[in-house]
Amino acid sequence: MNILILHGPNLNLLGEREPAIYGSQTLEDINNELQSRAEGYNISLRIEQSNHEGVLIDRIQENRKWADALIINPGAFTHYSYAIRDAIAAFNKPTIEVHLSDLSKREEFRKHSVLSGLENVRRIMGKGAAGYFEALDSLAIKE
Ligand code: DQA
């Protein structure tokens, strides 16, 4: 199984960025843990972080044949990028939207995700870094 993992804008600053909300683990810590779990499951990962909407869309498109599933934290693009929504709809394979924080308990503008309603997408939020690990585990178990 091949899984594409994408981290959106500002997630490169995890660990130093608002740790009370996003936790103290760095993105590197999270990626290392994902990688070691994936090896245990015999899953290949491609992991990338980008601050740019178009780069995230390019990666979804480029990996659409390679990847069997997508795990994505689109950062603030979650709330307004119809272009990322369209890319994930076109990808049309199991996708897990991960958010470190619980969007339902934050500012109004964060309560809506443009990925809502896509049949291939489910959401894990409010579990910190553990949400990414749960996402990987659930895809591995379904295989
Ligand atoms: C986030 C929540 C978003 O609202 C925010 O813009 C982020 C991170 C989360 O993981 O909780 O960058 O997606």
Q: What's the pLDDT band for 67 if we cut at 50, 70, 90? A: very high
> Residue 143 has what pLDDT?
62
The average pLDDT across 48-76 equals 98
Is 82 catalytic? The answer is no
Residue range 78-91, pLDDT digits in tens: 999 999 999 999 99
Residue range 95-135, pLDDT digits in tens: 999 999 999 999 999 999 999 999 999 999 999 999 999 99
C-alpha of residue 92 to centroid of ligand 1, in Å: 23
Q: What's the pLDDT band for 70 if we cut at 50, 70, 90? A: very high
- In which domain, by residue range, is 110 found? 2-142
C-alpha of residue 19 to centroid of ligand 1, in Å: 12
Give the chain's domain count.
1
Going across the sheet that includes 69-73, the strands are 44-49, 2-7, 69-73, 95-99, 121-125
Which residues does 66 contact at the CB level (< 8 Å), separation at least 6? Answer: 2, 4, 46
Does 7 contact ligand 1 (Cβ within 6 A)? Answer: no
Q: What's the pLDDT band for 141 if we cut at 50, 70, 90? A: confident
The average pLDDT across 4-14 equals 98
Distance CA 97, CA 82 (A): 15
Q: Percent of the chain having pLDDT more than 90? A: 97
> Residue 79 has what pLDDT?
98
Q: What is the CATH number of the domain that holds 36?
A: 3.40.50.9100
Is 22 catalytic? The answer is yes
Does 49 contact ligand 1 (Cβ within 6 A)? Answer: no
pTM of the model: 0.97
Residues 7, 59 contacting (CB under 8 angstroms): no
Does 78 contact ligand 1 (Cβ within 6 A)? Answer: yes
Q: At residue 8, does pLDDT exceed 90? A: yes
Mean pLDDT of the chain: 97
